Each structure stands twice: as structure tokens, then as C-alpha cells.
Amino acid sequence: MERTISVSTDVFAQIWSLREEGENSEDAILRRVLAAIPRRKRVQTMSNQTKTGGRTPRSKVTWRDDVRTALEQLNGRAPLLRIYNEVRELRRANGRSIPPSFEPVVRRTLEEHCSASEVYRGGPDLFYMPEGKGMGVWALR
């Protein structure tokens, strides 16, 4: 039996970011991914969804979280290219999407959380540019 399901654009992108050679549909991708989840974990997830009215209780990981974690793993300071690579690997390892605009999203995240940046709008001031603007090196505060 075939059914239609609706998913948001970001979930659709996440599904396709998990695609492997030879998988030509969302169904094929999800069959492989779901088969890799241990049965015990699937049962727990279903049980949690029942208790919460269909919603799985978990906090949403933000780009800010991923960029901060990447910098922590890079000893608190790194050139932008190393930050890109670390965030990409972190998102891949955790099954999160890597959109075509990946590098601009990472840069924007750094800038929006750096009080020395022109796009800083308040909020957590997590990052700074230890070698000055335009040098391509970022660090944790």
C-alpha cells in the first residue's frame, strides 16, 4: 500500500542528505536509515511519541550549537576552512542536513554571534576574530 506523507523542506533536505549511491527515492533512503536503528530504540521512540501525543521530546540543535561544538573540538580557535570541515563532519555524524548554502550559513552564524560583527543583533556573544576582521580566523569567547 502506498501513502503520501507531508514533511517540511528542512526534513526533506535531511532525508536527501543521507542518500547513498543507488537510492533514487525517499522511500529507499528511509528504508536503509530506519533499518539501521536498533529495534529497541525504535520501540522507545514510538513509546515516547504515544506519551507526548505524537511528538518526540527533544531539544532542537541549532547551527549556533554546531558551530560552537566544532570550535570546541578545534581547541577554541581555527581558520574558517577548518571550521567548515568540522561543522560538516559534525552535522553528517548526527544525521543533520548539509544544505547547498552550507558555508554562508556557517559564516552568518559566526557573524551573528560576534559583537564585533556588523550583523550582530544582540544575544549571545560567543565568537570573536582573534586576528581581526577579514583574516578568516574565529575563536570562542
Share of the chain above pLDDT 90, in %: 52
pLDDT score for 30: 84
CB atoms within 10 A of CB 1: 2
- Average of per-residue pLDDT across 116-141: 93
pLDDT score for 58: 53
**Per-residue pLDDT reduced to its tens digit, 83-127:** 999 999 999 999 999 999 999 999 999 999 999 999 998 889 999
The residue count of the chain comes to 141
Q: At what angle do helices 63-73 and 102-112 cross, to 10 degrees?
A: 90
Judged on CB neighbours under 10 Å (0-12, 13-18, 19+), 122 is exposed
Contact 74, 80 (CB under 8 A): no
pLDDT score for 1: 62
**pTM score:** 0.59
